[in-house]
Amino acid sequence: MIKLNNVCYAYDGLVALRHVNLDISKGDTVVLQGSNGCGKSTLLKLLNGLIFAEEGEYYFDGKLITQDEMKDSKFSKNFHKRIGFVFQNPDVQLFCNNVHDEIAFGPAQMGLTSNEIEKRVSDLLTLLNIDHLKDRAPYHLSGGEKKRVALASVLSINPEVLVLDEPLAGLDKSAQDWLIDFLQELQSAGKTLIISTHDDNLAHLLGDRIVYMNEDHTIDYVL
C-alpha cells in the first residue's frame, strides 16, 4: 500500500532522509525508532504529503505522490482522507471552539448527514473517555486530554492509515497503557498503523515490524 523508493530529502542543505526504501502493506503495523534528529518526523511528514521527496518516489496505493499531483484539490483531499496524522504536539492540531466541534470538523467536510456526524462524534467521545469534555475548549485541557481529543478528531474521518508521531510522549503510565491497548484494538480493526516512538515496550507489543532510522538518515529493518 505504501512504497518508498530511494527517497531523499534535505532541509536547508541538511540531509534528513537518505535513500530510504520502505514497503508497508495494508493492515501492517510499522514502528519507527531512532535517535532524535535522525529524520523520523521528516519521514512521517513525507508520508502525509506535507513535504515531497527531492529524489526517489513515494507511492500510495499505487499512485505517485508528488507536489504537482497534490496541487489538484480533489486528489489531495482524497489522499488526506485515507491517511490520518496525529502530531506529536496536540496543541498544533486543535483549533476549534470546543471538543465536539473539533471531532465533528472532519466528517462535516465529508458531506455526511448531521445524524451520521453526531453518531461518529458520540462514538468517539465514548471510545476515548472524553465525553465529559464535549463542550470544553480544547486549548485549556490537560496534555493527556488534548492527545485524546486530537486522536478522536483524526479518527472521525475514518482513515485507512493512521500515522502517530510519538503518541506516548508526555503521558503518565496508566494513560500510556490505555493507549497501547487502544492501538491494539485499532490494529485488530484492520487499520494500517505507522508509529514513531522511543518506547521499546510499544514497539515489541505492537510492531509487526520495527524500522530503525540511523544517524546518517538511512533506514534498517529490525525484527
Partner 1 sequence: MHIPDNYLSPSTCAVVAAATVPVWTYSIRRIKAEIPKEKMTFLGVGAAFSFVAMMFNIPMPGGTTGHAVGGTLIALLLGPEAACIAVTIALLIQALLFGDGGILAFGANCFNMAFILPYVGYYAYKMIARILHADRLGAASRGKLVAAGIGSYLGINAAALAAAIEFGIQPALFHNVAGVPLYCPYGLSISIPAMMLGHLTIFGAAEVIFTVALYAFISKTSPGMLRDAAPADTAKKNSFPVFILLAILIAATPLGLIASGTAWGEWEISEIPTMTESFSWASLFPDYSMNGLPDFVAYILSAIIGVLLSIIIFRFISAKMKRTTKF
Partner 2 sequence: MIPDWLKEQEEYNAVPDRDGFLTRSILSLMSMLASFRTKTISYGSKYPAPLKLIVCLAMIFITSLARNMLIVCTVLAILLAHICFLKNEFLVRTISTSLAAALLSAVILIPAIFLGSPQSMLMVSTKVFVSVGLVGILASTTEWNKLTAGLAAFHIPDVFIFTLDITLKYIVILGNISMDMLNALRLRSIGHNNSKAQSMSGVLGVTFLKSRQMSEEMFQAMQCRGFEGEYRRNSND
Selected from 19, 80, 81, 209, the binder of partner 1 by CB under 8 A is 19
Place of cell 466528517: 107
Closer residue to partner 2 in complex, CB, 5/41:
41
Closer residue to partner 2 in complex, CB, 157/219:
157
CB 178, CB 202: distance < 8 Å: no
Selected from 3, 19, 80, 134, the binder of partner 2 by CB under 8 A is 80
SS3 state of residue 220: strand
Indicate whether 140 belongs to the interface with partner 1 (CB under 8 A): yes
Place of cell 505517485: 64
Indicate whether 74 belongs to the interface with partner 2 (CB under 8 A): yes
* Cell of residue 47, nine digits: 508520508
Smallest separation, CB 18 to partner 1 (Å): 5
* Cell of residue 97, nine digits: 471552539
Q: How far is CA 119 from CA 17, 35, 99, 151, in A?
A: 41, 41, 15, 17
SS3 state of residue 18: strand
> Which residues, 6+ apart, have CB-to-CB distance to 214 below 8 Å?
34, 38, 220
Indicate whether 216 belongs to the interface with partner 2 (CB under 8 A): no
Site residues for partner 2, 84-143, by CB under 8 A, read 84-85, 87, 89, 91-97, 105-106, 108-111, 119-120, 123, 127, 139
Closer residue to partner 2 in complex, CB, 5/96:
96
Selected from 26, 35, 55, 67, the binder of partner 1 by CB under 8 A is 55
CB 28, CB 2: distance < 8 Å: no
Q: Which residues pair with 222 in a beta bridge?
A: 210
Selected from 1, 5, 15, 175, the binder of partner 1 by CB under 8 A is 15
Contact residues for partner 2, defined by CB under 8 A: 12, 48, 50, 73-74, 77-78, 80-82, 84-85, 87, 89, 91-97, 105-106, 108-111, 119-120, 123, 127, 139, 153-155, 157-158, 160, 185-186, 188-190
